[in-house]
Amino acid sequence: MKKYFIPAVSAAILLPMAFSLSSCETPVGQGAGFGAATGAIIGGAATGRVRGAAIGAGAGALAGALVGAAIQEDQARYYHAPPGGYPYAKRTGTPGYVYSPYGNHNVIDVRGVPPGALVRDPSTGGVFRKP
């Protein structure tokens, strides 16, 4: 009975804290949580020991976090166009540079960007099209 007291108390203290953290709301946190739970179940069932469950939880958390990071990166690339479409930048006198339609008309280097492609203004974060 004594050998299970410390793990039980640790679980009773740490599990509520783990569920209250805001990182569990991100795909990385959710992937790590589900991976850790699945790895602990598989590791514990395969070995029948706490050490196997701990190793499985660690491996599952790592794999789940990597999958969650890939999902988060994929979701971050997509955004919806505004109702009127993206505004076009204005040309400057120098080829490869345009005035941003946002803010105080910052000059932005768009060399190598094809015409009509979306460009993000680094100072305001606004998205516009290259003329």
Lowest mean pLDDT among 18-22, 51-55, 91-95, 103-107: 18-22
Encoding tokens for residue 45? 């069932």
Residue 61 in this model has a pLDDT that exceeds 70: yes
Query: Domain range spanning residue 47?
Result: 2-76
Mean pLDDT on 49-54 = 78
Same domain, yes or no: 6 and 62: yes
Contacts 24+ apart (CB under 8 A), 72-81: 72/26, 72/27, 72/28, 75/27, 79/127
98 vs 22: which has the higher pLDDT: 98
Same domain, yes or no: 65 and 32: yes
* pTM more than 0.75: no
Same domain, yes or no: 26 and 57: yes
Same domain, yes or no: 96 and 71: no
Count how many domains the chain has: 2
79-123 pLDDT per residue, tens = 677 888 899 999 999 999 999 998 777 899 999 999 999 999 888
The burial of 37, by beta-carbon neighbours within 10 Å (0-12 exposed, 13-18 middle, 19 or more buried), is given as: middle
Same domain, yes or no: 96 and 41: no
Taking CA atoms, 2 is separated from 8, 9, 61, in Å, by: 10, 11, 28
Same domain, yes or no: 117 and 71: no
Same domain, yes or no: 13 and 70: yes
Same domain, yes or no: 42 and 71: yes
